[in-house]
Structure 1
Amino acid sequence: MIIPEGKKVYFSSDNHLGAPTKEASKPREAIFVKWLDEIKEDAAAIFLLGDLFDFWFEYKHAVPKGFVRVLGKLAELKDSGIPIYFFIGNHDLWMENYFEEELNIPTYRKAQEFEFNGKNFLIGHGDGLGPGDYGYKRMKKVFTNPFAKWLYRWLHPDIGIPLAQYFSVKNKLISGDEDAEFLGEDNEWLIQYCRRKLETKHYDYFLFGHRHLPMEIKLKEDSKYINTGDWITHYTYAEFDGNDLQLKKLKDK
Structure 2
Amino acid sequence: MNIQLSPHKKVFFASDFHLGAPDHHTSKKREDKIIRWLHEIEDDAAAIFLVGDIFDFWFEYKTVIPKGFIKFISKISQLRDKGIPVIFFTGNHDLWMKDYFTEELGIPVYHTPITVEINHKKLLIGHGDGLGPGDKQYKLLKKVFTNKFCQGLFRWLHPDIGIRIAQKWSGSSRISNQAKNEDAFKGKDEWLWQYCKDVEKKMHFDYYVFGHRHLPLSLEVGDQSMYYNLGEWVSQYTYGVFDGDNFQLAIFEE
Q: TM-score, normalised by structure 2?
A: 0.96
Determine the structure 1 residue equivalent to 2:167.
Answer: 165
Offset from partner CA, 1:189-235 (integer Å, 9 cap, x none):
11110001111111000000000110000112210000000000210
Determine the structure 2 residue equivalent to 1:181.
Answer: 184
The change in CA–CA distance for 1:174 and 1:110 in structure 2 (over 3 A counts) is farther
Determine the structure 2 residue equivalent to 1:105.
Answer: 107
1:167 Cα offset (Å) = 1.1
Aligned positions of 1:25-64 closer than 5 A: 25-64=27-66
Counterpart-to-counterpart distance in 1, 2:186 and 2:113: 23
Aligned positions of 1:5-24 closer than 5 A: 5-24=7-26
Determine the structure 1 residue equivalent to 2:6.
Answer: 4
2:243 is the alignment partner of 1:249? no
Counterpart-to-counterpart distance in 1, 2:144 and 2:177: 24
The aligned amino acid for 2:39 is D
Gaps of 5+ in 2: none
Counterpart-to-counterpart distance in 1, 2:182 and 2:252: 18
The change in CA–CA distance for 1:237 and 1:176 in structure 2 (over 3 A counts) is farther
The aligned amino acid for 1:131 is P
State the SS of the aligned residue for 1:171: helix
1:173 Cα offset (Å) = 5.0
1:22 Cα offset (Å) = 2.0
Determine the structure 1 residue equivalent to 2:129.
Answer: 127
Counterpart-to-counterpart distance in 1, 2:176 and 2:9: 32
1:5 Cα offset (Å) = 1.5
Counterpart-to-counterpart distance in 2, 1:34 and 1:126: 26
State the SS of the aligned residue for 2:189: coil
How many residues are matched? 251
The change in CA–CA distance for 1:14 and 1:175 in structure 2 (over 3 A counts) is farther
Counterpart-to-counterpart distance in 2, 1:90 and 1:172: 11
1:179 Cα offset (Å) = 7.9
Task: Name the structure where helix makes up a greater proportion of residues.
Answer: 2
The change in CA–CA distance for 1:227 and 1:174 in structure 2 (over 3 A counts) is farther
Corresponding residue to 1:221 among 220, 223, 237: 223
RMSD of aligned Cα (Å): 1.5
Determine the structure 2 residue equivalent to 1:87.
Answer: 89
Please list every run of at least 4 consecutive aligned residues from structure 1 whose deviation after the TM superposition is greater than 6 angstroms. 174-179
The change in CA–CA distance for 1:203 and 1:173 in structure 2 (over 3 A counts) is farther
Counterpart-to-counterpart distance in 2, 1:104 and 1:78: 8
State the SS of the aligned residue for 2:122: strand
Q: TM-score, normalised by structure 1?
A: 0.96
